[in-house]
Structure 1
Amino acid sequence: MRKLSSTNYYNQTFLEEKCPLNELIHLLSKRWLTEVLFSIEEGNNRFSSLKDDLEHISDNILADRLKLLEQYKLIVRNDTIREIPTRVEYALTPTGERLSEMLDGLCKFSEHEMKLGE
């Protein structure tokens, strides 16, 4: 969490107000966020299957990233499955699906066009 009185906070707020893309870039720059999004797209729709797919992610970070994706309406959380214990599943929203497609294109671009360090 950013300190609300910091210069960094003011600068980030300015950038986000100037262009919404800056807010998206800031969100996507959070470690593991895109991998969680891609993993859900691949069908890993439960916390345990996400943990298995992303073996090095901590429980706290995974929970935080799921909350962020839900907050930005990129995924939906379905906990209406009547089981004990309660079963929670995640799915991409149409917005999350569109973003995932664009990110996939950026991944392909960076893989083929960005020859950093060569």
Structure 2
Amino acid sequence: MRNCATGRHDHHDVYAAQCPCRDVLDLLANKWSALAIGALEDGPRRFGALRNRLEGVSPKVLTATLRRLEAMGFVTRTIHPAVPLHVEYELTALGHSVAEPLAGLRTWVERHLDEITAP
């Protein structure tokens, strides 16, 4: 176990109520975060392209999701000076490192959906 840099506790423990691990887990377990990371695996995308790929997401929710991913270091936002502004989102090295396990989860869901009892 690793010592906690926040000083809130002795080690990282996602089961501990005060561990900041929970904030990261909350973000990554969110469907829009998992899908946005997957949509960025092949390279940078503009906001509109992301919105089109993530069918059903509202611009407000996508903006909030991308801001949280950026704040936690999973995504970078680059503004290219142009008229109109050209903004691209791209996975960081940290984002690429979490993309693989999230891809596994997405693939598992697709493969096993027919076995899951729907409510």
- Is 1:44–1:50's contact at 8 Å kept on the other side of the alignment? no
* Unmatched tracts of structure 2, length 5 or more: 1-13
Partner residue in 1 for 2:90: 91
- TM-score, scaled relative to structure 2: 0.71
Aligned pair count reads 104
Q: Go from structure 1 to structure 2 and tell me whether the alpha carbon gap of 1:44 and 1:76 turns closer, same or farther (over 3 Å shift).
A: closer
Structure 1: runs of 5+ lacking an equivalent: 1-11
Q: Which has the higher helix share?
A: 1
> Does the residue aligned with 2:87 lie in a helix, a strand or coil?
strand
Equivalent residue of 1:52, what SS? helix
Match of 1:55 in 2: 55
Change (3 A) 1:16 1:99: farther
Q: TM-score, normalised by structure 1?
A: 0.72
Decide whether aligned partners of structure 1 residues 78 and 106 sit closer, same or farther in structure 2, where only a CA change above 3 A counts: same
CA distance in 2, matches of 1:30, 1:111: 17
Alpha-carbon shift at residue 15 of structure 1 (Å): 2.4
Answering whether residue 17 of structure 2 is matched by residue 15 of structure 1, we say yes
Q: Kindly report the root-mean-square deviation, in angstroms, between the aligned alpha carbons of the 2 structures.
A: 2.8
Deviation at 1:84, TM superposition (A): 1.1
The one-letter amino acid paired with 1:51 is: R
* Residue identity (%): 27
Equivalent residues of 2:37, 2:99 under 8 A apart: yes
Q: Partner residue of 1:77?
A: 77
Task: Provide closer, same or farther for how the CA distance between residues 62 and 117 of structure 1 changes in structure 2, counting only shifts above 3 A.
Answer: same
Deviations 1:16-61 (Å, cap 9, x if unpaired)?
A: 51x72x3332112334111111112234610010111123110100
Query: What SS does the corresponding residue of 2:78 show, helix, strand or coil?
Result: strand
State the Cα distance separating 1:113 from its structure 2 match: 6.9
Change (3 A) 1:51 1:44: farther
